[in-house]
Amino acid sequence: MTDRLSVRKTYKLYVGGAFPRSESGRSYAVNDAKGNFLANASRASRKDVRDAVVAARKAQAGWAARTAYNRGQILYRVAEMLEGRRDQFTEELRATGLAKNAARAEVDAAVDRWVWYAGWADKIAQVTGAANPVSGPFFNFSTPEPTGVVGVVAPDGPLLGLVSVLAPVVVTGNTAVVVAAEPAPLPAVTLGEVLATSDVPGGVINILTGHRAELAPWLASHMDVNGLDLTGAGEELAAECEKAAAENLKRVLRPAGNDWTADPGTVRMTTFLETKTVWHPVGV
- Provide the mean pLDDT of the chain: 95
pTM over 0.85: yes
CATH number, domain with residue 87: 3.40.605.10
Residue 28 lies in a domain: yes
Does 25 map to a domain?
yes
Domain that holds residue 61: 10-258+265-281
Q: 53 in a domain, yes or no?
A: yes
- pLDDT over threshold 70, residue 157: yes
Task: State residue 3's pLDDT score.
Answer: 78
229 occurs within a structural domain: yes
pLDDT at 2 over 80: no
The answer to whether residue 2 sits within a structural domain is: no
| Residue 5 counted as domain residue | no
Give yes or no for a contact between 55 and 202, defined as CB atoms under 8 angstroms apart: yes
Contact (Cβ atoms closer than 8 angstroms) between residue 253 and residue 241: no
Question: Percent of the chain scored above 90 by pLDDT?
Answer: 87
**Residues 71, 173 contacting (CB under 8 angstroms):** yes
Q: How confident is the model at residue 107 (pLDDT cuts 50, 70, 90)?
A: very high
How many distinct structural domains can be found in the chain? 1
Are the C-beta atoms of residues 94 and 192 closer than 8 Å to each other? no
How sure is the predictor about 256, in pLDDT bands with cuts at 50, 70 and 90?
confident
Does some domain include residue 146? Answer: yes
Q: What is the pLDDT of residue 1?
A: 58
Confidence band (pLDDT; 50, 70, 90) for 263? very high
Report if residue 87 sits inside a domain: yes
Q: Is the pLDDT of residue 284 over 60?
A: no
Confidence of residue 73 (pLDDT cuts 50, 70, 90): very high
Are residues 42 and 14 in contact, defined by beta-carbon separation less than 8 angstroms? no
